[in-house]
Every structure is written in C-alpha cells, then in structure tokens.
A and B are shown apart, each in its own frame.
Chain A
C-alpha cells in the first residue's frame, strides 16, 4: 500500500520537567490507529524517558513510563536510541524498560533522512 508513510517521533526531553515526553507518547498512541509506519527515536535527555524504575509518588505526577511497554501491543516495535546520547548519560540498554535498537549517530541521521514526516518533541 502506497499510502503508508514513514512517521518518526523524535524525543529529546527528559520526562517530568516539561510536558513534551507525555505529549509525544499520547500523539504516538493516536497515530498508531492510522496504520502508518511509526518509529520512535530517543536522543539526548529523551533517553531518560525509558529509564527503568521511575517512581513518581513523591512528585504527585502520573508515572507514564509503563505505557512505553504497551507500545508493542499497538504494533509500534521500532524504538531507536542514539548510542552517543545513551553513553553520555552513563546508561546502557539494560537500564531501559523496553527493548530498543541502539544506533550510532550517523545511522540515526540516515534514518531521519528516510522519513516522510518527522515530529519533534
């Protein structure tokens, strides 16, 4: 089907300091209903969205990190993490709450080039 477009959601912000991460996740869930080719990219502080063990009781904010694990059920299986951003934060794949594909920056850039639509958060 030729009307399927490649949508990439680029996440570059940490979870609770701003509303970007949550807004992105909501738009992703809505986009999932339209049968498009959806992928998520996590760069810079966006990687912190996927950190295991988030406990938000103390800040009286909803912990939306479990929702990333629901994405598989929405047929969103392509979650890319930029290697350099991950390493700069002293994190590895084992520290993240979902399975991801780790890409060096050049490959991440190429993947971005291939998209029909890039949505930034």
Chain B
C-alpha cells in the first residue's frame, strides 16, 4: 500500500498517524511533508526508524521549491511527477493522510 502525506510533521499529526497505523509499504512525502525527509530536523531519528519499515519517497519538485534539496536524508528516494504517477499505478491501493 502507498501512503501519501502532505503536511509538515513538525506542525501536524498526519505523518505520525501514518507511522502508527500503517503496516508497511511505501510512503510518499509531498508538499510540506517533504520536511520530514530532511536531515537535522527534530524528525530525523523518527524518520530513520520509519525507513526500516517503509520505502520512503519524496517529491523532488516540492523539495527543491523549499530549498531543501541539499538536505535530503540518505536512503530516501526522490521522484518527479512521472515517478509519483508510477508509484500510484504500481500500488494496490493508496491512502492520503490529509
């Protein structure tokens, strides 16, 4: 299953809820959720833990827009819009953690 998160984990509980409930699979971070995949934030340890259970992707244009492309955590895959579509198409189902 693909889990899509679009809120900053520092101000919104959606990412935490996803980690709490989801059993595994892929997580795609888009919009403000891309901050979850950057180094040096208060989320970093939690993110590294999550990467043991999930394959984590980040939408590159959203990361670049926020000036954080140079802070992407190792092990997080970055995808463009085409990659986003591919992820959705490959997944059996997906859940947006609004």
Contact = CB atoms under 8 A, between A and B. Distances in A.
Interface of A: 10, 12-13, 20, 43-44, 82, 84, 105-106, 108-110, 112-113, 115-118, 120-121
A120 B20 CA distance: 16
Contacts of A116: 93
Nearest to A20: B98
B17 interface: yes
Contacts of A120: 95-98
Interface of B: 1, 13-14, 17, 20-23, 25, 92-98
Given A113-B1, A120-B98, A82 B93 contact: no
Contacts, number: 43
B21 A109 contact: yes
Contacts of A105: 20-21
Contacts of A84: 20
Nearest to A109: B23
Contacts of B25: 113
Contacts of B93: 112-113, 115-118
Contacts of B17: 12, 43-44
Top 6 A-B residue pairs of the complex, sorted by shortest distance between their CB atoms: A109-B23, A118-B95, A120-B96, A109-B21, A105-B21, A113-B1
A118 B23 contact: no
Nearest to B97: A120
A20 B1 CA distance: 23
